[in-house]
Amino acid sequence: MRPAEPLQTLARTCLRALVTHDLPMLESVALPHPGLATLLNKRDNALNNAAPPANRDAIFAELDNLQMFTAPIFDDQQLLTVYFRGSLHLLIATPTPDGTFRLDLRWWIAAAQPRSEREETARAYYYYLLTSNLEGLQALSIDTRGLEMLCERQSPSGEHGQLEHVAQTMALVELAPGDSYPTPRGVEKVDERHAKAGLTVLLGLTPEGLMPFVMKQIDGKWKCSPANYIMAVVLARGGKITPA
């Protein structure tokens, strides 16, 4: 579905701020974050003072006619899928108390940072889910019971290269205590239960929406809990799950 005009304006303004290195413009459409300025330093800049005027005009014209789509995700947020300069860009628009939307750019900020072993494990796990790789899931799961349910639909081998790219380019943010994330049971919050169990929650930004990875370090290696994914399969089959 094409976004309403206010959401389109958010996306256009965000990308225009990035390519023109305009921090005040970026701050006008984004949720406050101390790392916003790093986006102007880390991301490739399509505009610079040496660019011919014709190139600048073409970029501005493309910004005025972006192809984009929106889909609702959890907590009244909107996932914006934007096509710009030959690439797909994912943006999360979050409602604010004044009734408008702001962009949550934590995933873009995180993507500009060095990758960690924990994040690489989550990306590998996502790839194994996409490709129904039972052996891979078994190697990276906290609990291996029920994993066969996640591998009943095999993707064509010819698509694995594209799926690997999707997984490897997934941006991830670590959730802090009090942050929410979607599960088959509904919205859950990171709280003392996670801390007591030694669990960390990473939230991945994917073309299908936000995907949580509940993770724990075991014997020096990061592993993921398959529980939420298995519960999703149970619900899709018409089954029921016990409330937490």
Alpha-carbon distance of 162 to 175, in angstroms, equals 28
pLDDT in tens, 14-70: 999 998 889 999 999 999 999 999 998 754 444 444 455 667 788 888 998 999 999
- How many percent of the chain have pLDDT more than 70? 93
pLDDT in tens, 139-174: 999 999 999 999 988 777 788 999 999 999 999 999
Please give the pLDDT value at position 7. Answer: 95
7 versus 46: the higher-pLDDT residue is 7
Residue 186, H or E segment: strand 186-189
Identity of residue 41: N
**191 Cα distance to chain centroid:** 21
Angle in degrees, 0-180, between the axes of helices 5-20 and 53-64, rounded to the nearest 10:
160
152 versus 123: the higher-pLDDT residue is 123
Average pLDDT, stretch 127-147? 96
Domain boundaries, the chain: 5-111, 117-236
Q: Which two tokens stand for residue 202?
A: 């990473």
Average pLDDT, stretch 132-144? 96
> Contact at 8 Å (CB) between 81 and 68?
yes
Residue 171, H or E segment: strand 171-174
Q: Which two tokens stand for residue 184?
A: 């088959």
Please give the pLDDT value at position 19. Answer: 86
Please give the pLDDT value at position 166. Answer: 93
**Burial of 190 by CB count in 10 Å (0-12 exposed, 13-18 middle, 19+ buried)?**
buried
Supply φ then ψ for residue 80, to 5 degrees.
-100, 125
**Burial of 122 by CB count in 10 Å (0-12 exposed, 13-18 middle, 19+ buried)?**
buried
- C-alpha pair distances (Å), 156 with each of 131, 132, 159: 8, 10, 6
> Contact at 8 Å (CB) between 197 and 187?
no
pLDDT in tens, 186-229: 899 999 999 999 999 999 999 999 999 999 999 999 999 999 99
Please give the pLDDT value at position 243. Answer: 56
User: Which residues have a Cβ under 8 Å from the Cβ of 199 and sit 6 or more positions away?
Assistant: 193, 214, 215, 216, 225
> Contact at 8 Å (CB) between 181 and 187?
yes
Please give the pLDDT value at position 1. Answer: 85
